[in-house]
Structure 1
Amino acid sequence: MSTASTDARNRQPIDVAAIREAARKLDDGAVPSGYQGNRQEIIEMLNAALATELVCALRYKRHYYTATGLVNESVKAEFLQHAQEEEEHAGRIAERIVQLNGEPDFNPSTISQRSHAEYDECTDIKGMIRANLIAERVAIESYRQMIERIGDSDPTTKHLLIDIMAVEEEHADDMKDLLD
């Protein structure tokens, strides 16, 4: 097999030898040197997203445990499901940071400062739902801006954020339905 093949769309040869050589340089983490994104900026954005997801998971968990009354059991279940999904988002973001040769920042002393969403200590169910809806809207807009900033420079991170943003939109829709 030849070390050069042809890309059908551009009809330009792909330099397989150069790709293989670059892939042997392991100091950039899992993503090879041909990566087009600004690693540091994207890692910083992802660490802010990580903090946001962790704060959201904590807020939803608090609301799950502190919401009272039999009439609120379905709302509590929604809070728990959302908390688990936020934790899953945090895990996916942390994995991507590591793939980019970065360090996921789980430092509890700075999470709330780095988070785009706020923590909430409401005690009434309507206040909890409203706080969660606002936080979801903050997350959605934050992800939209991150996706826009990343553009086509890092398709993997872009797609990750699009996937997470879609779930956040579902969460916002759920909270809006509960509020009505």
Structure 2
Amino acid sequence: MSKAKNVAQFTPTKTLRANARKNIEDGAVTKTYTLDRKKVIELLNAALATEWVCVLRYYRHYFMATGMLADSVKGEFLIHAQEEQAHAKILAERIVQLGGEPDLNPDTLTKRSHAEYKEGVTLKDMVKENLIAERIAIDSYREMINYIGDADTTTKRVLEGILEQEEEHADDFADMLDGWIGGK
């Protein structure tokens, strides 16, 4: 009985070299990129808008938080704002690598964002709104990752890294609601 062999098909070096010299204006995107780049850039721009809306909401909450628990919660708001801004930077860089342009138009930011800009009145409201926004981000990133699959492993890794941090943020806020602020 013979075993089936997994024989990989690799492009000959001479062909790789020749292909690399073609369409060099496309930068990192080569002919082996099989996804619809415009669609991927559109998805990444929606994620970028979401991140900026979250940055703005977190900063507002940081500045407006008051009350007995405000100092510790404000620290979380500030850290999360900075982490969301780092996500925005990574997403914008990937958009450019794919030959797109990051859409940072403030006039349309909230319309393109998956998350809403909810100010919240009380500290508990602010924490709830941030938890809701993180849950939205988790689902939207998961959908993007599933769409991209293994066809664009770089974008997939970028999104997986952001998703991991969004899940940590959601955990932080769920803990705050449960433990510090009197339950959900």
Q: How does the TM-score come out when normalised to structure 2?
A: 0.89
Aligned residues: 172
2:67–2:123 contact (8 Å) kept in structure 1: no
Ranges of 4+ aligned residues in structure 1 off by more than 6 Å: none
1:29–1:98 contact (8 Å) kept in structure 2: no
Q: How far apart are 1:121 and its partner, in Å?
A: 1.5
1:130–1:179 contact (8 Å) kept in structure 2: yes
C-alpha RMSD over aligned residues: 1.2
Q: Deviation per CA, 1:104-126: give whole Å up to 9, x if none.
A: 10000011000000001112100
Tell me the SS of whatever aligns to 2:11: strand
Counterpart in the other structure of 1:21: 18
Q: How far apart are 1:23 and its partner, in Å?
A: 1.8
Out of 7, 10, 15, the residue aligned to residue 7 of structure 2 is 10
Moved more, 72-81 or 33-42: 33-42
Q: How far apart are 1:13 and its partner, in Å?
A: 4.0
Counterpart in the other structure of 1:60: 58
Counterparts of residues 91-106 of structure 1 (less than 5 Å): 91-106=89-104
CA distance in 2, matches of 1:37, 1:131: 34
CA distance in 2, matches of 1:11, 1:68: 61
Q: Which amino acid aligns with 1:21?
A: A
1:56–1:117 contact (8 Å) kept in structure 2: yes
Tell me the SS of whatever aligns to 1:145: helix
Identical counterparts, % of pairs: 58
Counterparts of residues 101-112 of structure 1 (less than 5 Å): 101-112=99-110
Counterpart in the other structure of 2:45: 47
Q: How far apart are 1:97 and its partner, in Å?
A: 0.3
Q: Deviation per CA, 1:41-71: give whole Å up to 9, x if none.
A: 1000000000000001110010001101353
Which ranges of structure 1 fall in alignment gaps of 5 or more residues?
Answer: 1-8
Moved more, 76-85 or 146-155: 146-155
Counterpart in the other structure of 1:129: 127
1:51–1:112 contact (8 Å) kept in structure 2: yes
